[in-house]
Structure 1
Amino acid sequence: MRSRLTRRSLVTAAAAGLVAAGLAVQAPSAGAAVPDTVPLTLANNSGRGDTVYVYTLGTLLSTGQQGWADANGTFHPWPAGSVPPVPAPDASIPGPAAGQSKTIRIPKMSGRIYFSYGRKLDFRLATGGLVQPAVQNPSDPNHDILFNWSEYTLDNDGLWLNSTQVDMFSAPYAVGVQRADGSTTTTGHLKPGGYNGVFDALRAQPGGWGGLIQTRSDGTVLRALSPGHGVEAGALPASVMDDYINRVWQKYASTTLTVTPFADRPDTKYFGRVAGNVMNFTDSSGAVVTSFQKPDADSVFGCHKLLDAPNDQVRGPISRTLCAGFNRSTLLVNPNQPDSSSSAFYKDSVTNHYARVIHERMADGKAYGFAFDDVGNHESLVHDGNPRQAYLTLDPLA
């Protein structure tokens, strides 16, 4: 999957992106108990004095329309866009001041909850839908704004809400949900000092990883780009994963890679062997079911292009597993994928150091450091089938 952030159509971004991230986009079912809107409490623990702006943007699941929701959870469709893109209506909701909280309502949509500090975000409408920020582009109007977003789906089967670093690591936040029994679960909090710790670790990592960091002219550190965006922007060498990829290809020319992509279907296995520049996967009968050309760093980091993962039952699940193994650098130490434990993740000197340093600094170890970080359930996601309350907490930038 290409970065969700650069998708022009929010219906594509939300639906394709959330599925890839493990957030199922399901059609509503009759008679469900989930209400049309759910309260979302925003708590501002950032310690910053900047004005906060909040946006709920996405696709209304009942109609497929793209649009935005106001603080009451009322959906508003976007007007038609044009070429060149025109400014979108102001969908911002005033957020809570530092040390305060505010409750809004979110409707049954699949989309994102953006928040920004100090300035409103600049959204545009093209003929294909909403143009979202693309901060890997230095001329993007949102480049110098400190902002971030969460992804969510609310439908008749419940709420899926995540914290994501798939496109960038920036202003920290956590997500939570209160269940019908009153219990609450949260994820996404960094360890004390974790925010600055991520940037310090990237700066210290040889190989150009510090080039992912973007800083405003006043010295404010805004974000670290994901490595896929870093390669795209020329901030990270395109050859950064070549050594590991070459070693994997060499190993599986004489060894079989066994992929068991479904935890609930352990008898479904696929077997990979490299012949020349291609890894062929066969099923238990020996028939070739799909093949992958030798990937490059961009394909690995983005889990797309040469590692494309369609929403099917064969190639997509195999590709997800390969993508996770490459990013976590476990393919050389374990010919049976995916790994069931994180103990061997990111141990090779050639790995996705961006995802590594983020996971290391998460309080619960969970993160979406790349698109298929949910392989093996290592993602920062909360879900409940009958949510009473959702939470998004803005954490300190320290």
Structure 2
Amino acid sequence: MCAMMILIQMIIPPPIRASASADSSSSSSIYSIPASSIPAPTGNGVMSFKVMNGTNGAYSDSQIFWGVLGINPANGKWSYLDLNGNLLPISLALNDAPGHLSKNGINYANFYHKVSDAPWVSLPKITSGRMFLCVATECYIKTYDNGFAGPDINNPNDPNLNVYFDFIEFTIDATGYHGNTTRVDMFGFPIQHRLVNVEGNYDRTVGELEVETRSGLFSKFSKEVPSQFTSLGTIQAPYRIVAPVRGSFAAGGVNANYFAGYSGFSTQDILRCDGAVTNAQTCAAINRHVYTDNNWNIVGNYYQAAPANYYSKFWHTHAIDGLAYGFAYDDVNNQAAYLETSRPKGLIIKVGW
């Protein structure tokens, strides 16, 4: 669903319900914030949100950055969110504006804010929104008059290869909030994504379990996935674990033919859910190794034999309620880390470590 590309145009998947199980083992738990304490939005905002520091002292609030890019439905222009909840248009000129970022002699747009800048911020309606979360330093992203160039972890010269970052995706429209965490391309650090509605009868969270730590997930990944997948946790360490098609399962890689003989489709098409494998149900069935089963919707049968997308399996194993976006069509049979509500009140994003 969320491949990294130049001038990113994201598609939010069809609505699915997701649930959450509470874990209040820590005072820094995402569940420790009462829903009643979420303030009303201001200005054009339809809901309020906050980014929460869950690094347990590894980084201060001033070292965790967030920035929102998306399309302003009022004018159709790509925009960024300021601290007052306004969507301001992005442009090529933004890369050289006062306060811009620079790396290796190249300038980048600075649309970021620190966790310490504001406890809550208002979110207006936005289409194809992406909230970048960056730790220790901002992400380096070029903006243009009609879009932006997001991080490309396949590019050996990308300025973000040695940056700790992750993101969530969302749209806020007339039917409410629709958003998700994603592991389709990579894992940067644990994230929890909590959504609360106005009526008070919807309060759900998706993402990695709060008991998981970043170092722990790296260690568990190396021990829990089959040998073909272990290099995904090392080739861009310590910054991220990459998805199979971003590693040795890409064309020309040692596992480029991993799915050969199972479905008749290429391994790359299967992992990307594109090319000859654009049917969502088919792609999901192959990744989950139930393609030859009579019933593709029995969750207990997923990932029980090779070949299967064990990268995806790993994130489901360590996720709240077993929900994760491990590949592009992981929303089939309601397995994705996806939340939505028609009358959103608050969004809380916790950056874990």
Question: Which 4+ residue blocks in structure 1 deviate beyond 6 angstroms?
Answer: 20-23
Counterpart contact for 2:64–2:133, Cα < 8 Å? yes
Alpha-carbon distance change, 212 to 362 in structure 1, aligned in 2, over 3 angstroms: same
User: For the residues of structure 2 that align with 1:122 and 1:169, how far apart are their CA atoms?
Assistant: 18
Q: Displacement, 1:196? A: 4.0
State which of 254, 261, 265 in structure 2 corresponds to 1:295: 265
Q: Structure 1 unaligned segments of length 5 or more: list them.
A: 24-34, 249-293, 309-318
TM-score normalised by structure 2 residue count: 0.80
Aligned residue number for residue 190 of structure 1: 209
| 1:263-302 aligned within 5 A | 294-302=264-272
State which of 59, 64, 69 in structure 2 corresponds to 1:52: 64
- Greater shift, 190-199 or 225-234, is seen at 190-199
User: For the residues of structure 2 that align with 1:174 and 1:234, how far apart are their CA atoms?
Assistant: 35
User: For the residues of structure 1 that align with 2:186 and 2:160, how far apart are their CA atoms?
Assistant: 13
Aligned residue number for residue 379 of structure 1: 336
The answer on 1:72 being equivalent to 2:72 is no
Aligned residue number for residue 131 of structure 2: 113
Q: Displacement, 1:374? A: 0.7
Structure 2 counterpart of 1:43, which letter? M
Aligned residue number for residue 266 of structure 1: none
Q: Displacement, 1:354? A: 0.2
Aligned residue number for residue 5 of structure 1: 4
Q: Structure 2 unaligned segments of length 5 or more: list them.
A: 18-43, 95-105
Q: Say which SS state the counterpart of residue 334 (structure 2) adopts.
A: coil
The answer on 1:347 being equivalent to 2:304 is yes
Aligned residue number for residue 39 of structure 1: 48
Q: Say which SS state the counterpart of residue 390 (structure 1) adopts.
A: strand
User: For the residues of structure 1 that align with 2:86 and 2:180, how far apart are their CA atoms?
Assistant: 22
Structure 2 counterpart of 1:368, which letter? Y
Q: Say which SS state the counterpart of residue 286 (structure 2) adopts.
A: helix
Structure 2 counterpart of 1:4, which letter? A
Q: Once superposed, what is the RMSD of the aligned Cα atoms?
A: 2.7
Q: Displacement, 1:297? A: 1.0
Aligned residue number for residue 335 of structure 1: 294
State which of 293, 302, 305 in structure 1 corresponds to 2:275: 305
Structure 2 counterpart of 1:153, which letter? T
Alpha-carbon distance change, 234 to 174 in structure 1, aligned in 2, over 3 angstroms: farther
Q: Displacement, 1:235? A: 6.2
Aligned residue number for residue 213 of structure 1: 233
Aligned residue number for residue 284 of structure 2: 324
User: For the residues of structure 2 that align with 1:20 and 1:385, how far apart are their CA atoms?
Assistant: 14
Q: Deviations over 1:275-297 (max 9, x none)?
A: xxxxxxxxxxxxxxxxxxx4211
Alpha-carbon distance change, 189 to 66 in structure 1, aligned in 2, over 3 angstroms: same
State which of 117, 129, 142 in structure 1 corresponds to 2:160: 142
Aligned residue number for residue 164 of structure 1: 182
Q: Say which SS state the counterpart of residue 210 (structure 1) adopts.
A: helix
Q: Displacement, 1:59? A: 1.2
Aligned residue number for residue 181 of structure 1: 199
User: For the residues of structure 2 that align with 1:80 and 1:141, how far apart are their CA atoms?
Assistant: 18
Counterpart contact for 1:37–1:73, Cα < 8 Å? no
Q: Say which SS state the counterpart of residue 329 (structure 1) adopts.
A: coil
| 1:244-263 aligned within 5 A | 246-248=261-263
Number of aligned residue pairs? 310
Structure 2 counterpart of 1:141, which letter? P
Residue identity over aligned pairs, in percent, reads 22
